[in-house]
Amino acid sequence: MYKARIAFVFIAFYSFWLLLSGNLAPANLILGFLVCSFTLYFFRGFLLQEPEDRSSVFSYIRRTIIFFLFLPVFFYQAYKSSLTVLKLVFQKDLDLHQGIVKIRTDVENLSGRTMLANLITLTPGTISVDIDENTGELFIHCINIPMEETINHKEEIIGAFEPWVLRIFED
């Protein structure tokens, strides 16, 4: 069973490599083989762990499906944020209000908080600076913080991501 799992993960990685590279040149095939082999070797403890029970296998499948359903939402938010940053860059009067915002998240899982912080960092104009593990607060540097007090920073920054992360990492 362990060898079958190794073969499955390797084939999945190699297929993904071929899909992304789109190049079937011998040098690329060899490079893909080596990269996938090294990745599988170094992350074997994480990638090849035995599921605790049968229900966890279905949980992994469910989480993977939710993650792939979330990807268009992330790409849309990243695109929208890129346009906002682009507008800021081309303004004549660069009137930015940079700062760090503290946002309390409802995500309790450490992996979920880490994913949320990474999603925020991958979105142009924001960088996750720190996560308070005790309170679940994220400290996020924003390139331009609206000064109106009616603005809900939580909704503006993580509103699109948090419900999806909660669904992915719910038990």
* d(C-alpha 1, C-alpha 4), whole Å: 5
Q: What is the pLDDT of residue 168?
A: 85
The yes-or-no verdict on residue 52 having pLDDT over 60 is: no
Query: Which residue spans within the chain are E strands per DSSP?
Result: 99-104, 126-132, 137-142
The yes-or-no verdict on residue 50 having pLDDT over 70 is: no
Tens-digit pLDDT profile for residues 1-16? 567 778 888 888 899 8
**Total-model pTM:** 0.67
Whether the Cβ atoms of residue 70 and residue 168 lie closer than 8 Å to each other: yes
Domain segments of the chain as ranges: 2-50, 55-169
Radius of gyration over every alpha carbon of the chain, rounded to an integer in angstroms? 20
* d(C-alpha 31, C-alpha 39), whole Å: 12
44: Cβ contacts below 8 Å, ≥ 6 apart: 6
